[in-house]
Amino acid sequence: MFLYLRLLSESFAFAMNALTNNKLRTFLSLLGVTIGIFSIIAVLAAVDSLDHKIKKDLSKVDKNTMYLKRFSFAPTDIPRWKVQQFPNVKYEEYQYLKNNVTSVQTMAFQMFAPSINIKYEDKSATGVNAKPSSYEIADIESVEIVDGRFYTESESNSGSAVAVIGYEIAQTLFGSSNPIGKKIRMYGQRFTVIGVLKKQGAASMGMPSNDTSVMLPVNFLRRLYGDNNTSLTPIILIKPLKGADPEASKAEVTQKLRNYRGIKAGEDSNFMIDILSSFTDFIDGIVSMLNLVGWIISGFSLLVGGFGIANIMFVSVKERTGIIGIQKSLGAKNRFILMQFLFEAVILSLIGGAIGILMVWGGGTLITKAFDFEFILSAGNILLGTGLSVGIGLISGILPAISAARLDPVEAIRSGM
């Protein structure tokens, strides 16, 4: 055990000596390993961070939540031209399903609307994401209010001019003053602010953050624009009963709506129902593909890095041929010489890998602070980077180490003189 510790110490000293005496050569050799480890760990950490952000954004919504609309979020076998002919879901259909479907806990009617501008006195917030919804949306999306309240069933049904604004909107329009009860202007009307949403942070996958959103009763827009406005896309959100089979709930909703629309047996449905869990499975597939692409691209950098380590080790063997001959003449076994150069290759590779991991950590810290996006460099990715560095060192150093171990001591001493 003591022998191997001493071997490790000497190998580390040789590696550091190679670093200090041949700075440019060592830098160029380690650059491939550094870039390779940086590329792989950066891609994996970025994908993990994105996946974590998506799952965090969706965690407040039951994974069995269903979305009823005329189009599908995920890829579908139905031709696009046919989907474009599907009718939008109606508010009356939402009321019918809510009163007649037994396997769901609640439903909400929502419209996808264009972004708007909100004004308060001389201040304005631009590009605000409008979320006109019925009152049940607070339960389905687990809306968190930090100040004030959400609108009631009565306010929702009557289409009252009340609004719940996002955290950033509140900061932009009101600063440190209390926004509750204040009048803001949007859609050419005055709305009373009754609540402020909890800060969410940056959203993912192109989805708008609640921080830059405003929630208002959907019936206000229905009363203002009617149900046939092409800029508004209605959707029904359905939350099944806890413990209920989502597929059974989907089947019941499908049958009820088919009956309501008069769709005959054998005819295709003219609407889509997506379950959130299917969407998350789709996201998992994208994440896996991104990881695979990252591995393929970064693998070339690791290959170059491996050749760089092998090159510096062959040069190191040639430069220390005389020392190897003296060691062997004094009784050093081939195994000792082999392990000495293998340790040196691993240490050099670990140095390159450590620099790459530090670069990922530094870049991730800057991204987290600059973009309000939590960049996660997990312990698993750090261990993976370390393991890859060790593997590259072993693979790249094995041939130079074998060539050093097989040197004849007499010829080695003569060559080194």
Structure tokens at 153: 């069933």
Residue 208: its pLDDT value, please? 67
Q: Which residues have C-beta within 8 Å of that of residue 328, sequence separation ≥ 6?
A: 334, 337, 407, 409, 412
pTM: 0.63
Q: How far apart are CA 344 and CA 216, in angstroms?
A: 66
On whether both 223 and 138 belong to a single domain, the answer is yes
On whether both 240 and 298 belong to a single domain, the answer is no
More confident residue, 314 or 263: 263
Q: Are 103 and 248 in contact (CB under 8 A)?
A: yes
Q: How far apart are CA 204 and CA 248, in angstroms?
A: 30
Residue 119 falls inside a structural domain: yes
Strands (E), 166-232: 183-186, 189-197, 213-217
Residue 244 falls inside a structural domain: yes
On whether both 31 and 116 belong to a single domain, the answer is no
Residue 343: its pLDDT value, please? 79
Residue 376 falls inside a structural domain: yes
pLDDT tops 80 at residue 181: yes
Least trusted range by pLDDT, from 117-121, 257-261, 309-313: 309-313
Residue 202 falls inside a structural domain: yes
On whether both 259 and 321 belong to a single domain, the answer is no
On whether both 140 and 238 belong to a single domain, the answer is yes
Q: Are 241 and 103 in contact (CB under 8 A)?
A: yes
On whether both 48 and 137 belong to a single domain, the answer is no
Residue 388: its pLDDT value, please? 82
Q: How many other C-beta atoms lie within 10 A of the C-beta of residue 24? A: 7
* Domain end call among 210, 233, 268: 268
Least trusted range by pLDDT, from 4-13, 32-41, 186-195, 353-362: 4-13
Q: Model confidence at 374, in pLDDT bands (50, 70, 90)?
A: confident
Task: Count structural domains, the chain.
Answer: 2
Q: How far apart are CA 414 and CA 201, in angstroms?
A: 69
* Domain end call among 268, 298, 333: 268
Residue 29 falls inside a structural domain: yes
On whether both 122 and 160 belong to a single domain, the answer is yes
On whether both 153 and 290 belong to a single domain, the answer is no
On whether both 338 and 392 belong to a single domain, the answer is yes
Tell me the average pLDDT of the chain.
Answer: 81
On whether both 126 and 255 belong to a single domain, the answer is yes
On whether both 233 and 100 belong to a single domain, the answer is yes
On whether both 101 and 160 belong to a single domain, the answer is yes
Residue 63 falls inside a structural domain: no
The residue to which tokens 């001019």 are assigned: 161
Residue 275 falls inside a structural domain: no
Structure tokens at 402: 């074998």
Q: How far apart are CA 35 and CA 41, in angstroms?
A: 10
Q: Model confidence at 119, in pLDDT bands (50, 70, 90)?
A: very high
Structural domain range at position 349: 2-57+282-416
Structure tokens at 382: 């750090």
- What is the rounded average pLDDT of the residues 77-102? 86
Residue 65 falls inside a structural domain: no
pLDDT tops 60 at residue 185: yes
